[in-house]
Structure 1
Amino acid sequence: MTNEWGWQLPATDALFQDSPYEPLENPGENIAERLIMIAHLSFNTDVWSTRIDRYWEGLVERIEGACNTNSVTEFWQRLTDEMALVPLSAGELLHEKNLLCRPSILSYPVSDFEVLNPLRSYPRDIVDRTRMWNQYRKAAKVSKLKAA
């Protein structure tokens, strides 16, 4: 799978393979969705395990709170702090997160506003897409284990 903008983001491109949805076609929305998927992959079980029933709503609330900025980098820092995310350990995913936080330097540049706008306007939709992606991802893992 190659994204239509020519971005060299194979790790986050691969995340969409387990999604029931096609990747969002708007580049700013696409980056926003990738960042929320990465945020979920940084889930902190120490913080959220006792309140897992509030996790997805909490993620929406934290996104809304973190969007009061003009910079995707600052948004990510605020979201990381608010969600108490654990640092990414996968080098390729960390590299891609760093690129996505500075969308104007991508091979097909996108403004910070274009990424932050969908996160401000409809964070629940992006979180719900991530939630479904997570459910499909878990189901795929279970299927692989049963097949082995």
Structure 2
Amino acid sequence: MPTTNSAQISLRITEVLLEYEQPLIGAAQGPDGTTFIAVAYGPDREDGAQDFVFVCADQQQVADFISGRIDLLALMKASSAPFYLGAGYGGADTTITGRAVDSIPEAAKPTSGLVLPPEVVHVLSTRYSALPA
């Protein structure tokens, strides 16, 4: 079980990268412009919100994930604490308050090999400058 502390930040989901009936993976920004990947996990909540874990990722890690060079688990393992947990509806331009934790909850860790579908990669590759042409 991750240890939480009192640190909280506002995280704005800037783009939904993958969805299936609701956002599953998104790009997010912290208040200082830091890039995060938001990953939905766990069962649906009674209030309709979704639990998210936010992992810090640099532009190259995001580009590598989007292109399929690394999977989601590798991206999450490459990130360093603090990680942030929060709940919200997860659409683009949604702001979620995240509370800092020192590790990613086991329930939020994807299985190895989870990459974005090719049709999503094609659309996103034009938006991320670190991707090769």
Q: Which has the higher contact order (CA 8 A, sep 6+)?
A: 1
Instruction: Pick the structure with greater CA Rg.
Output: 1
Which structure shows the higher helix fraction? 1
Q: If the length of structure 2 is used for normalisation, what is the TM-score?
A: 0.35
Which structure shows the higher strand fraction? 2
Q: If the length of structure 1 is used for normalisation, what is the TM-score?
A: 0.33
